[in-house]
Structure 1
Amino acid sequence: MARNAFYSFHYVPDNWRAAKVRNMGVLEGNRPASDNDWEKVKGSGSAAIQDWIDGQLKGRSCTVVLIGSGTAGRKWIKYEIKKSWEDGKGVVGVYVHNLFDRDGLKATKGRNPFDDFTLGSKSMSSVVKAYDPPFSSSEYVYGHISSNLAAWVEEAIEIRRKN
């Protein structure tokens, strides 16, 4: 049975890459917001965005942070990571910079968003894993993520259970 996952990503540059990962069918994920839905939520202010995220996180066992060039440090991605951890969900990162976007372009590798958090006296990035597929070919990166994502999510849930 596929796990229910919440996908966290920087919408504008990475929505195409995120759609590729979601459409792999490896996990059951949250329904993607259309551009119009997201603009409506975003235009309603911070409280509405937070409520929307909280609703999307309900019933999820893991948050998969799809890491692109500008993911780390973004306010709402930080909120999604923090809220997921506090709610006892597994959290895992997957670098997607080498997947093609809709224009057939790749991005630069971004920094690890888990470096922005501490768990007690240690960095979250020393506990939460961020996987960087070891390929430069978009096709191979896609295959690597597809083959490993379910196991990474199970591992993230187990890591969270122990921490």
Structure 2
Amino acid sequence: MKRQVFYSFHYSNDCWRTQIVRNIGAIEGNTPVNVSAWEEVKRKGFTAIENWIDSNMRYRSCVIVLVGSETASRPWVQYEIESAWKTGKGIVCIDIHFLKNQYGETCSQGENPLSKFFIDKTYNFIAKRKNAVDSNEIRLSSICKFYHPSAFNTYNDIANNIESLVEDAINIRK
């Protein structure tokens, strides 16, 4: 079954790699963002960006975080992860650093963006911080999967596994 997903990624670094994943076709993602449309939203400010993300994420069942070299440090990626958890969506990270960009280059592996968040086991509350405040909190990275495809057959590895990764992410939230 095709699922509706939202792709979270570092736009300026990983847009090309993201399009490669979107073209796999095993899942239904949001339509690619055109550069001028994204720049227009950014010019309107913080609240406009939040509203745009919330609107585009609304009817999605899973957020796929496509992780390149700097994805984990991007504030909007962090917002999308936090928002996905708060709204009960599945979350899965997929390492895309072995996919080539438009110049035929790969990038360095980025850190797991989920490791920046903690979940309170009792209240299911999400918080971004470096360390747990008590023993009742666990890292989001210990709940949600970060998939590392093969370095030699990255595209096919992602294509062959993306549906099950999405289903697993959704099932974690049930």
Q: Where in structure 1 do 4 or more consecutive aligned residues deviate above 3 Å?
A: none
Instruction: For residue 157 of structure 1, give the secondary structure of its aligned residue in structure 2.
Output: helix
* Selected match of 2:145 from 129, 133, 139: 129
> Where does 1:24-63 land on structure 2 (aligned, <5 Å)?
24-63=24-63
C-alpha separation between the residues in 2 aligned to 1:73 and 1:103? 24
Give the unaligned 5+ runs of structure 2.
121-136
CA distance in 1, matches of 2:150, 2:32: 27
Q: Deviations over 1:124-153 (max 9, x none)?
A: 000010001132x3xx10000000000000
Normalized against structure 2, the TM-score is what?
0.89
The percentage of counterpart residues that share the same residue type is 44
SS of 1:119's equivalent in the other structure is strand
Task: Flag structure 1 segments of 5+ consecutive residues without an equivalent.
Answer: none
> Structure 2 CA distance, aligned partners of 1:13 and 1:52?
20
- For the Cα contact (< 8 Å) 1:64–1:91, is it kept in 2? yes
CA distance in 2, matches of 1:59, 1:24: 21
CA-to-aligned-CA distance 1:69-116 (integer Å, 9 cap, x gap): 000021110000000111000000000000000000000000000000
The two structures, once aligned, show a CA RMSD in angstroms of 0.7
Residues paired across the two proteins, number: 158
TM-score calculated relative to the size of structure 1: 0.95
> CA separation in 2, counterparts of 1:91 and 1:70?
18
